[in-house]
Amino acid sequence: MKDASGAFRKAVWMALNGNLVSAFDGSNTPVAVYDGQVTTTNDSLYVLMGSERTTNETNRTRFVTRCTMVLEVIHRSEYAVDSRVLDDISQQMMQILLPTPQTSGLVPQDDFQFVALQLESGNKLNLTLSPVSSINRKILTLSCRVVQLN
């Protein structure tokens, strides 16, 4: 059995990285996608690939793993809270990752097949730092069955 979570993480990162832009304000500024912890960034808007969970669903004929990943759209603002910025980026992410009910936008990885990608849940969290400063997050949880081919 091979570790499917790394392949799933790489497929998501490759699909999103370089393909998201901050279009809400008309600037079309690229939105960075970080794999794991961000130690320092000047970006006010970015996507963080967060925690993962795997569940073994192997059957008698092949190795199968259900991989779950948290994606966070993070917006640091010195202005009034406007969740439409978060909604715009998450909408772009969903259009890339789930273009139709039957297909996914995951980038294929050697030795693995991605089946039944779905959005499990989503929520928003707002942290007010001062009357004019806040950190706003939209948290999306994705899951996918990953079948080992070789």
**pLDDT greater at residue 81 or residue 72:** 72
* Alpha-carbon gap, residue 139 to 108, rounded angstroms: 24
Neighbours of 85 (CB within 10 A): 21
- Residue spans per domain, the chain: 4-148
The residue length of the chain stands at 150
CATH fold label, 4-148: STM4215-like (3.30.2000)
> Has residue 5 got a pLDDT over 80?
yes
pLDDT for position 81: 65
> Has residue 41 got a pLDDT over 90?
no
pLDDT for position 19: 96
Q: Are 69 and 50 in contact (CB under 8 A)?
A: yes
Q: Are 17 and 97 in contact (CB under 8 A)?
A: no
pLDDT for position 102: 87
Q: What's the per-residue H, E or C state across 71-83?
A: EEEEEEECCCCCC
**pLDDT greater at residue 27 or residue 50:** 50
